[in-house]
Chains A and B, each alone.
Chain A
Amino acid sequence: DAGVIQSPRHEVTEMGQEVTLRCKPISGHNSLFWYRQTMMRGLELLIYFNNNVPIDDSGMPEDRFSAKMPNASFSTLKIQPSEPRDSAVYFCASNPDRGTNTEAFFGQGTRLTVV
């Protein structure tokens, strides 16, 4: 298996622009997570999907952030409009959801820079 695949790996955009980050989870995994990592705040859970349904989005910082999972093999995280403070590394992770004894597998991350 290719693992969790994220695109793009790097994104530089101007303040006010829309940014879309993409994630393909590992085939057969039922749970998908989006995280944001910064030096100041560490690894923050933004939203969690199970069987394509958003279960908990309490970590989404503002209405500018939205996430979708239209099918089991694809998810997007959108920021509109983007701001410099959104600059961070965004990780997608998936989990087979076979109970508690299963790890989360991470993609390579997208490094977002908003100028």
Chain B
Amino acid sequence: QKEVEQNSGPLSVPEGAIASLNCTYSDRGSQSFFWYRQYSGKSPELIMSIYSNGDKEDGRFTAQLNKASQYVSLLIRDSQPSDSATYLCASPGYNFNKFYFGSGTKLNVKP
């Protein structure tokens, strides 16, 4: 079992819709989670981090964490074509800083 797992997609949504990206993790001791966005041919860049159960909002992005279910999600409201990218979920795990990544979910936002 991988430490962090994601559905590889692709996930296609129309422009203006809500995109929902999901991630599960295996290490119950994990305390922090990160969502990265990676455009084709580029390096991953951080868009959201979350450490506590519940929701965290930043502009059009909302990260959700449920530690009991070992589940993390990212919602993108009012999706734009520029949001089309691969979204990677990451966690350092209980053993800090090993930074395991999921395989990524490819999001396509259609105009």
B71 interface residue per 8 A CB criterion: no
Q: Is the CB of B44 within 8 A of A43?
A: yes
**Could you tell me if B51 and A93 are in contact, using CB atoms closer than 8 angstroms?**
no
Interface of B is mostly: loop
Tell me if A100 and B96 are in contact (CB < 8 A). yes
- Count how many pairs of residues, one from A and one from B, have CB atoms less than 8 Å apart in the complex: 53
The answer, yes or no, to whether A14 is at the interface (CB within 8 Å) is: no
Main SS at interface, chain A: strand
B88 at the interface (CB under 8 A from A): yes
Q: Quick check: is A71 within 8 A (CB to CB) of the other chain?
A: no
Could you say which of B9-17, B58-66, B76-84, B99-107 contacts chain A?
Answer: B99-107
Interface size of B by CB at 8 A reads 22
A31 within 8 A of B: yes
Find out whether the CB atom of B43 lies under 8 angstroms from the CB atom of A42. Answer: no
In the assembled complex, the Cα of A104 lies from the Cα of B88 at a distance in Å of 13
| The stretch of A16-24, A77-85, A106-114 that contacts the partner chain | A106-114
A103 and B31 within 8 A (CB): no
How many residues of A are in contact with the other chain, CB < 8 A?
A: 24
Taking CB atoms, residues of chain A closer than 8 Å to B92 are 100
B97 at the A/B interface (Cβ < 8 Å)?
yes
Give 25 A-B contacts (CB < 8 Å), ordered by A residue.
Answer: A31-B97, A33-B99, A35-B101, A42-B101, A42-B102, A42-B103, A43-B101, A45-B99, A45-B101, A50-B97, A56-B98, A93-B99, A97-B96, A97-B97, A100-B31, A100-B32, A100-B96, A101-B32, A101-B51, A103-B46, A103-B49, A104-B34, A104-B90, A106-B43, A106-B45
Q: Which residues of A contact B (CB under 8 A)?
A: 31, 33, 35, 41-43, 45, 48, 50, 56, 91, 93, 95, 97, 99-101, 103-109
Residues of B within 8 A of A (CB): 31-32, 34, 42-46, 49, 51, 88, 90, 92, 96-104
